Amino acid sequence: MKIVKFGGSSLATGTSVEQALKIILSDTERQVVVVSAPGKRSNDDIKVTDLLIKYANATLNQEDPQEIVRQIFARYQEIGQYFGLNKQELTTIQSILLNLPKKAYPNDSYLMAAFKAHGERLNARLIAMILKHQGIKSRFLDPAEAGLIVTGEPNDALVNPESYLNLDQIKIAPDERVIFPGFFGITPSGHIATFSRGGSDITGAILARGFHADLYENFTDVNGIFAANPHIVAHPRSIKQMTYREMRELSYAGFSVFHDEALIPAIQGQIPINVKNTHEPDNPGTMIVPEKNFEPDNTITGVTSQKHFSALYLHKYLLNKEAGFTLRILQILYQHNIPYEHMPSGIDDITIIFNNDFLNDQLIDQICNEIQSTINPDQLEWIDDYAIIMIVGEGMKKTHGVSRKILDSLDEHQISPQMINQGASQISMMIGTKKEKADEAVKIIYRQFFN
Ligand SMILES: Nc1ncnc2c1ncn2[C@@H]1O[C@H](COP(=O)(O)OP(=O)(O)O)[C@@H](O)[C@H]1O
Ligand SMILES: N[C@@H](CC(=O)OP(=O)(O)O)C(=O)O
């Protein structure tokens, strides 16, 4: 059996849903279908998830939400009408939308999560209705009914392992198609909580593990995973095959096409993932597979950058001899509830790299003051325009001179790395640069290894 996930970019219009249904019905093994909320129809369009966030905010601010509800419903109506659904069938969707503010939520964060989740919840209902309308045996399966239990933050939830036991109990008839909404699960007390943005990929992977699928097919709007972000490098090469750990490093570091957390259930279940193009289903796309029996066909598999970082550089002589130096820094960060991303160090210095999402000016001042007074470094520098370039490839550990080739090519273009870090697995190299140099660095490294 295969789990098939369609992203919002593949379900934005009636024509694209028709193409998705064609793909589902062309293979009897494609029995469980995970759907996202309708995505953008054009570059300046708004995803349904973002419209729902506006609806939630309007509700919280006690503003009139009529216009926004009209816009959201119009997206489902457009798709439903394309398939000839009647007014009454579509009214169910409209009334669920209108009723959202009347439900009880433990707090504003749960309200936000529940509103957001309805992009997927209503789309799964709609697609199941369309299939039924076409005489195809199909079922809408809700995470509440399936027992997809999550814990943690209402808008950044994590799957609870009991979900796998619950999914194992679900019976699917051989000729039946199950339509499952992506992006959310149910908390132990029965409320909706969503994964982080882009989290329908996670639902697909959870179901792939829970239903012991042979393959997890993830359909998007491009021919698989490219070796670099197509918005940075024009027409990058598509990766034929890569390992789970390569993908995890690349998706964590900026390959937004596949969610980094979605790799974990697939790895646990050892289920291969095939990222494919809805608009070109015969293209083989990218296979993501376990490390064993893998022969890389290029030294590097991909290069990516992320620009939302800041760094704290600390210099202190004999830092290596001072017991508890890092511990005291971490205690300060812990007191302010600030996580860090990386902490490369030398004999006399240490750089702590932060995700800007967890910082504000007041917090930055507070932690710098506290570190200065507690640690008393010789030099303390805050760098707020930091980017990380990540070069990943199973082929890197077998090839000599990869780092030299990368650093020489950057040097030729006057880009001087502020930090270099090679992971112990030897399949990735991380380079810190100024934010404004990040895209150029990606282009240079891509050209060096792929052209
Ligand atoms: N390395 C990459 N390979 C392929 N696509 C990428 C890459 N990096 C960024 N993207 C972008 O990711 C988009 C697909 O992701 P997304 O819009 O979230 O799809 P979906 O709606 O199918 O989940 C592509 O259209 C592409 O612009
Ligand atoms: N609709 C949600 C979840 C998701 O995964 O969407 P997509 O598959 O279109 O990236 C979001 O926009 O975050």
pLDDT by residue (tens digit) across 262-293?
A: 999 999 999 999 999 999 999 999 999 998 77
Q: Is residue 400 part of a domain?
A: yes
pLDDT > 90 in the chain, percent: 88
> What CATH number does residue 25 fall under?
3.40.1160.10
Position 399 pLDDT exceeds 90: no
Question: How remote is the CA of residue 19 from the centroid of ligand 1, in Å?
Answer: 18
Mean pLDDT for 71-80 is 97
Q: Given the CA of residue 48, which atom of ligand 2 is nearest to it?
A: 1
Handedness of CA 347, 350, 351, 357 (dihedral sign): positive
What is the torsion angle, in degrees rounded to the nearest 10, for the CA atoms of residue 265, residue 268, residue 271 and residue 276? 40
Which numbered atom of ligand 1 lies nearest the CA of 255?
Answer: 8
Ligand 1 neighbourhood includes 225 CB (under 6 angstroms): yes
Q: Give the rounded distance of the alpha carbon of 428 from its chain centre.
A: 20
Residue where a domain terminates, one of 221, 255, 270: 221
Domain housing 89: 2-221
Instruction: Average the pLDDT over 19-47 and give the result.
Output: 97
Same domain, 98 and 212: yes
The predicted pLDDT at position 421 comes to 86
Q: Is residue 267 part of a domain?
A: no
Q: How confident is the model at residue 233 (pLDDT cuts 50, 70, 90)?
A: very high
CA dihedral 269, 271, 276, 278 (to 10 degrees): -60
The pLDDT assigned to 418 comes to 87
ipTM above 0.85, yes or no: yes
Whether residue 418 sits in one domain with residue 308: yes
Same structural domain, 210 and 310: no
Predicted local distance difference test score (pLDDT) of residue 345: 86
Question: In angstroms, what is the span from residue 316 Cα to ligand 2's centroid?
Answer: 45
CB 226 within 8 A of CB 235: no
235 domain residue, yes or no: no
Residues 306 and 206 in one domain: no
Helices (H), 11-142: 14-25, 48-60, 66-82, 87-99, 108-133
Q: Hunting for tokens 């197509």 — which residue is that?
A: 230
Q: Identify whether residues 184 and 320 lie together within a single domain.
A: no
Q: What DSSP letter does each residue of 253-283 carry, written as one string? A: TT-TTS-GGGHHHHHHHT--EEEEETT-TTS
Q: Which atom of ligand 2 is nearest to the CA of 50?
A: 12
Amino acid identity, residue 116?
A: K
Residue 270 covered by a domain? no
* Contact yes or no for 291/243 (Cβ under 8 A): yes
Beta strands, E only, 196-270: 215-220, 241-243
Report DSSP state, residue 239: P
Residue whose CA lies nearest to ligand 1 atom number 18: 257
CATH number at residue 363: 3.30.2130.10
If you measure from the C-alpha of residue 37 to the centroid of ligand 2, how many angstroms do you get, rounded to a whole number? 6
156 CA distance to ligand 2 centroid (A)? 13
- For position 426, what pLDDT does the model report? 84
Q: Which atom of ligand 2 is nearest to the CA of 119?
A: 1
The two structure tokens encoding residue 224: 């698989």
The answer to whether 221 is annotated as binding is: yes
Q: Which residue, of 158, 191, 221, is where some domain finishes?
A: 221
Say yes or no: CB of residue 7 within 6 Å of ligand 1. Answer: yes
Residue 281's contacts (CB-CB under 8 Å, 6 or more residues apart) are: 23, 26, 219
Q: Give the pLDDT confidence of 186-207 residue by residue, as tens digits.
A: 999 999 999 999 999 999 999 9
Select the more confidently predicted residue: 297 or 448. Answer: 448
434 ligand 2 Cβ < 6 A: no
In a domain, 262, yes or no: no
Note the pTM of the prediction, 2 decimals: 0.93
pLDDT digits (tens, 9 = 90+) for 234-258: 999 999 999 999 999 999 888 989 9
Average pLDDT, integer, range 138-167: 97
Give the pLDDT mean for 118-128.
Answer: 98
Same-domain status, 324 and 195? no
215, 308: one domain: no
Distance from residue 104's CA to the centre of ligand 2 (Å): 25
Q: State whether 331 and 187 are in the same domain.
A: no
Q: How confident is the model at residue 358 (pLDDT cuts 50, 70, 90)?
A: very high
- The verdict on whether residue 120 carries a ligand-binding annotation is yes
197 alpha carbon, closest ligand: 2
pLDDT at 38: 98
What's the pLDDT at 398?
84
283 domain residue, yes or no: no
For residue 320, pLDDT over 80 is answered with no
Decide whether any atom of ligand 1 lies within 6 Å of the 379 Cβ.
no
Residues 312 and 214 in one domain: no
Residues 210 and 118 in one domain: yes
Confidence of residue 419 (pLDDT cuts 50, 70, 90): confident
For residues 175 and 38, state if they share a domain.
Answer: yes
Q: What is the mean pLDDT of residues 140-169?
A: 97
Asked if residue 38 has its Cβ within 6 Å of ligand 2, the reply is no
Predicted confidence at residue 389, as pLDDT, reads 96
The total of structural domains in the chain comes to 2
Tell how far the Cα of 450 is from the centroid of ligand 2, in angstroms. Answer: 30
Indicate which atom in ligand 1 lies nearest the CA of residue 9. 21
Give me ligand 2 centre to Cα 200, in Å: 6
222 lines ligand 1 (CB under 6 A): yes
**Is residue 199 included in any domain, yes or no?**
yes
Q: What is the mean pLDDT of residues 22-48?
A: 97
Output b/e per residue, 270-296; b: 16+ Cβ within 10 A.
ebbbbbbbbeebeeebbbbbeeeeeeb
Q: Is residue 128's pLDDT more than 80?
A: yes
Q: Which ligand is nearest to the CA of 201?
A: 2
With 0-12 / 13-18 / 19 or more C-beta atoms within 10 angstroms meaning exposed / middle / buried, residue 402 is buried
pLDDT band of residue 318 (cuts 50, 70, 90) is confident
Nearest residue (by CA) to ligand 1, atom 17, is: 9
Cα separation, 280 vs 13, whole angstroms:
17
Nearest CA residue ID for atom 15, ligand 1: 257
Classified as helix, coil or strand, 115 is helix
Helices (H) and strands (E) in the chain, counts: 14, 17
324 and 208 within one domain: no
> Would residue 306 count as lying in a domain?
yes
Share of the chain above pLDDT 70, in %: 100
Q: What is the pLDDT of residue 298?
A: 85
Half-sphere exposure of 238 (CA within 13 A, CB side): 15
pLDDT at 30: 98
Single out the residue in 221, 240, 272 at which a domain terminates: 221
